[in-house]
């Protein structure tokens, strides 16, 4: 059966289209047009939309029409956009990505998919080296064989399309909850062991630029195709600039675990906010960063360099209680995840991040979706796998309203359950 999606607008990762009609067949995008250019495809045309014989169900801002072998999902007033791509994602649904098992990644991915995320970088935390090596090896195999994750499961799940190595090359002074005993000085030999264990799937690495050997490691990792993100750092402006010159392209959860801004020594934060070429992540949950600072970040980085991330951990989508982040305990209560009194990741989903971003900054939802689709895809070099809508590709997309609320999540051409309730 063919499925048609209609909405007020569609953003394909590069441009906006008014009054779109997107056609899906067998889980893939068959065509993208508009009511002006592809009128024969539009079952709503010329009928004023409300046909009692064909409307089977209607709820909230959506309507479902079945006729002539086609199912049409109509989202009046909404924007269709690519499914979200989260480049900083530790887990959800009671599981951590470092478990690196098919069942764990399915549980994680199915919850993320219901909230609009179609792909993510499986993000590690600092741990004993042998444990990290095992996790990277397991993750690499599952990334290369995504059918092992899906494994006959009923509902589609968001897919890991790479690995983000967060640690062990981080600052002791700004480690947050990263275990101090497992932090390491930048070492090209150790990095190469980690890189080889990841079988080419390491796409991003967080690095503190002030550590001895960090600039050399940034250049080495960049030469091997790994993007370097600066974070968990007490670096000065000069140290940060040196790492950028060596190839660093982004900043990890801007403001958090960074040297505070000073008017005489801007440090890493001042450098991140004023370096136009640098991408910058932000956790937009209203807990990690105050709304006023979200607005400052948005003004500084703009629509081409800002990236929204979740930094979600295993408690995401779960009731309050104690959970694991890479093997150490985290307590979750009232939306806050902490370990030893320090923030330890989040329970944020990207649909909520989008809603908060629009509310905090006054930006349009069209701007907002860029920050979790095209921008992370460009930063990581994964534009062929995420961040856009193209004919012939898997039908992974979202419908969001003008306030950034998720109206629907469509994964592999299927409308996910519970999306509108997120």
Q: Which residues are catalytic?
A: 311
Strand partners, 16: 11
The SS3 call for residue 309 is: strand
Q: Which two tokens stand for residue 198?
A: 């990841």
Helices and strands: H and E segment counts in the chain? 11, 24
Q: Which two tokens stand for residue 56?
A: 């089977």
> Which has the closest alpha carbon to 244: 201, 273, 265, 264?
273
Residue 183: partners with Cβ closer than 8 Å, 6 or more residues away = 126, 167, 168, 169, 170, 172, 175
Intra-chain end-to-end CA distance of the chain, in Å: 27
312, 92 contact by CB (below 8 A): yes
- Directed axis angle between helix 291-305 and helix 267-274, to 10°? 50
Give the pairing type, strands 2-11 and 306-309.
Answer: unpaired
Angle, alpha carbons 258-264-267 (nearest 5°): 25
DSSP 108-146: HHHHHHHTTEEEEEEE-----HHHHHHHHHHHHHHHH-T
Angle, alpha carbons 404-34-396 (nearest 5°): 50
The DSSP letter of residue 224 is T
- Specify the DSSP element, H or E, that contains 76: strand 70-82
Q: Which two tokens stand for residue 137?
A: 């090896």
């Amino acid at each position: 059966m063919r499925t048609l999606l209609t909405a007020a607008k569609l953003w394909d990762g590069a441009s906006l289209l008014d009054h779109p009609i997107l056609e899906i067949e067998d889980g893939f995008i068959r065509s993208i047009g508009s009511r002006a250019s592809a009128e024969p495809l539009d079952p709503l045309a010329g009928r004023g939309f409300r046909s009692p014989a064909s409307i089977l169900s209607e709820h909230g801002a959506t309507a479902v029409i079945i006729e002539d072998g086609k199912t049409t999902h109509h989202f009046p007033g909404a924007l269709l956009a690519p499914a979200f791509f989260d480049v900083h994602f530790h887990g959800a649904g009671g599981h951590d990505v470092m478990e690196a098992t098919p069942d764990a990644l399915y549980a994680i991915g199915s919850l993320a998919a219901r909230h609009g995320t179609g792909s993510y970088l499986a993000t590690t935390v600092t741990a004993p080296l042998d444990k990290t090596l095992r996790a990277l090896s397991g993750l690499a195999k599952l990334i290369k064989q995504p059918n092992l994750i899906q494994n006959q499961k009923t509902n589609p799940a968001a897919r890991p399309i790479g690995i983000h190595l967060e640690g062990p090359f981080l600052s002791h002074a700004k480690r947050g909850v990263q275990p101090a005993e497992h932090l390491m000085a930048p070492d090209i030999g150790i990095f190469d062991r980690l890189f080889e264990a990841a079988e080419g799937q390491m796409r991003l690495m967080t690095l503190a630029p002030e550590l001895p050997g960090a600039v050399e490691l940034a250049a080495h990792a960049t030469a091997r195709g790994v993007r370097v993100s600066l974070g968990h750092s007490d670096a000065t402006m000069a140290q940060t600039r040196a790492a950028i010159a060596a190839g660093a392209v982004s900043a990890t959860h801007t403001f958090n675990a960074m040297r505070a801004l000073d008017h005489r020594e801007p440090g890493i934060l001042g450098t991140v906010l004023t370096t136009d070429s640098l991408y910058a992540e932000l956790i937009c949950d209203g807990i990690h960063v105050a709304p006023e600072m979200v607005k400052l970040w948005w003004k500084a980085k703009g629509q081409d360099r800002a990236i929204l991330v979740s930094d979600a951990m295993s408690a995401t989508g779960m009731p309050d209680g104690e959970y694991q982040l890479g093997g150490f305990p985290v307590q979750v209560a009232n939306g806050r995840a902490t370990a030893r009194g320090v923030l330890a990741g989040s329970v944020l989903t990207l649909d909520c991040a989008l809603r908060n971003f629009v509310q905090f900054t006054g930006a349009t939802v069209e701007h907002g979706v860029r920050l979790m689709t095209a921008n992370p895809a460009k930063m990581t070099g994964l534009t062929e796998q995420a961040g856009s809508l193209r004919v012939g590709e898997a039908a992974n997309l979202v419908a969001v309203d003008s306030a950034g609320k998720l109206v629907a999540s469509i994964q592999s051409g299927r409308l996910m359950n519970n999306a509108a309730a997120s």
